[in-house]
Amino acid sequence: MNRDKRRFIILLIALVYSLVLFGLLMNFSIGPAEYESAPFSLFFKQLFNVGVGTVALIFFSFFNHKHLMKVSKILLILLIFSLIIVDGSLSRRWIYLGNIPLALQPSQYAPIILTIFIARIFSYPINDKSSKKLYLIIFGIIIFLTVLISLEPDFGSGIIAFGSSMFLLFLTGISISEFLSFLSFSLLGGALFLTINNEWMNRIRAFFHPYLYSTSDALQSLQAFRALARGGIAGVGFMRSVLKFPGHLPERSSDFIFAIIGEETGLIGCSVLIAIFLIISYIGLRIARGSQSTFSRLVAAGIVIDILLWAILNMLVNVGLMPVTGIPLSFVSFGGNNMLANFIGVGILINIIRKEVAW
């Protein structure tokens, strides 16, 4: 491995762990307000999640990503099966693993599994006569999985899985007319799907009329505004957040951690965070462009899209430009499944640099 590749790997790892450090510091800050009896339990739980993610990163950095082509169908079947189990269970979203203090959330792995599956399908030359049928089948699979995820209910993860998969389909060379037809059908179906669920409709109403729902569905959004406004340019300082305390901002350690970052570090801290995500995206796209095989190119692009979509949509929710959907911030929000899925993605990117990139 040459020096340029080594530098890219070191830079990618440094940027990822900069985001992780952001998350650990914020969880350290939020912990005493979250658990008075065990003020640092949130921090140590997240540290454990980072440790598990690090093991996965190391493993997939050395595991030849080309082997994922062989198991892509199996991974997809397992994903569908696990989503059906979750939708039919009382726990919803999670599959509990016996007495182990861990729970599997299949929806968090859907984007990366779909990425691998789509990349495998289009890694071989496609006959023009069969391309329309193939695209229709792939589109049907994407819609089916999106519906399964949304029924958990986890509409936010459904948006990520759908959005990243459609973007990847666009990169495969689908005609603009077919792509726009699929997209239009999806948006229409999504709009109709929303109308059958009062919770989703209330969130949309709260998005357009937040002060009419200030004590219910718009509470988190309004409190996030106050946290960001209170932070100003430079923030109120580490550990000095007020909105992190109970009764102010629900989901402050996960979906709305960006608001607490804004309160404590201000616009400066938020800008640094956004810059890190943009640089990671640039590195990922460089990896995709430099990959020698179609499979590696699509996988690299798909992983970057996944990570970036999680971050963008989370930030949009926090600043009030999107209805509340329950989307975590990549590598920063508290939680093990999203953290693990993203670490797996970064490990695969590193392996692509080592095995495929021609620099």
Supply the mean pLDDT for the chain. Answer: 89
- What ranges make up the beta strands (E) of 99-216? 103-104
Buried-state track 275-298, b at ≥16 Cβ within 10 A, e below 16: ebbeebbebbebbbebbebebbbb
Nearest to 244 by CA among 213, 223, 216, 219: 223
Residue 100: strand, helix, or coil: coil
Least confident range from 51-65, 153-167, 258-272, 302-316: namely 153-167
Least confident range from 171-175, 191-195, 208-212, 241-245: namely 191-195
The yes-or-no verdict on residue 335 having pLDDT over 90 is no
The yes-or-no verdict on residue 99 having pLDDT over 90 is no
For the chain, give the number of residues: 359
DSSP per-residue letters across 241-258: -STTSTTT-TTTTTTTHH
The yes-or-no verdict on residue 310 having pLDDT over 90 is yes
Rounded Cα distance, 25 and 334, in Å? 11
DSSP per-residue letters across 11-52: HHHHHHHHHHHHHHHHHHHHHHHH-SSSTTHHHHHHHHHHHH
DSSP letter (8 states) at residue 122: T
Q: Identity (one letter) of the amino acid at 197? A: N
Least confident range from 66-75, 103-112, 124-133: namely 124-133
Residues 6+ apart with CB under 8 A from 142: 114, 161, 162, 165, 166, 169
Nearest to 23 by CA among 231, 308, 276: 276
Rounded Cα distance, 31 and 48, in Å? 15
Residue 62 — pLDDT band, cuts 50, 70, 90? Answer: very high
Of 101 and 333, the structure prediction assigns the larger pLDDT to: 333
Q: Give the per-residue pLDDT at 35.
A: 67
Least confident range from 136-145, 156-165, 197-206, 320-329: namely 197-206
Buried-state track 148-170, b at ≥16 Cβ within 10 A, e below 16: bbbbbbbbbbbbbbbbbbbbbbe
Rounded Cα distance, 121 and 66, in Å? 13
Of 333 and 98, the structure prediction assigns the larger pLDDT to: 333
The yes-or-no verdict on residue 349 having pLDDT over 90 is yes
Q: What value does the mean pLDDT take over residues 310-336?
A: 91
First vs last C-alpha separation in the chain: 10
Q: In Å, what is the CA distance from 89 to each residue of 106, 144, 152, 208, 277? A: 13, 18, 9, 33, 36
The yes-or-no verdict on residue 333 having pLDDT over 90 is yes
Burial of 13 (0-12, 13-18, 19+ CB in 10 A): middle
The yes-or-no verdict on residue 137 having pLDDT over 70 is yes
For 70-95, the pLDDT digits (tens) are 999 999 999 999 998 886 555 567 77
Residue 200 — pLDDT band, cuts 50, 70, 90? Answer: confident
The yes-or-no verdict on residue 129 having pLDDT over 80 is no
The yes-or-no verdict on residue 193 having pLDDT over 90 is no
Rounded Cα distance, 257 and 328, in Å? 8
Residue 100 — pLDDT band, cuts 50, 70, 90? Answer: low
Rounded Cα distance, 45 and 49, in Å? 6
Q: What value does the mean pLDDT take over residues 301-327?
A: 92
Rounded Cα distance, 243 and 339, in Å? 24
Residue 218 — pLDDT band, cuts 50, 70, 90? Answer: confident
Residue 304 — pLDDT band, cuts 50, 70, 90? Answer: very high
The yes-or-no verdict on residue 311 having pLDDT over 80 is yes
Q: What value does the mean pLDDT take over residues 268-278?
A: 96
The yes-or-no verdict on residue 143 having pLDDT over 70 is yes
Using only the alpha carbons of the chain, give its radius of gyration: 20
The yes-or-no verdict on residue 325 having pLDDT over 80 is yes
DSSP letter (8 states) at residue 95: E
DSSP per-residue letters across 189-201: HHHHHHTT-HHHH
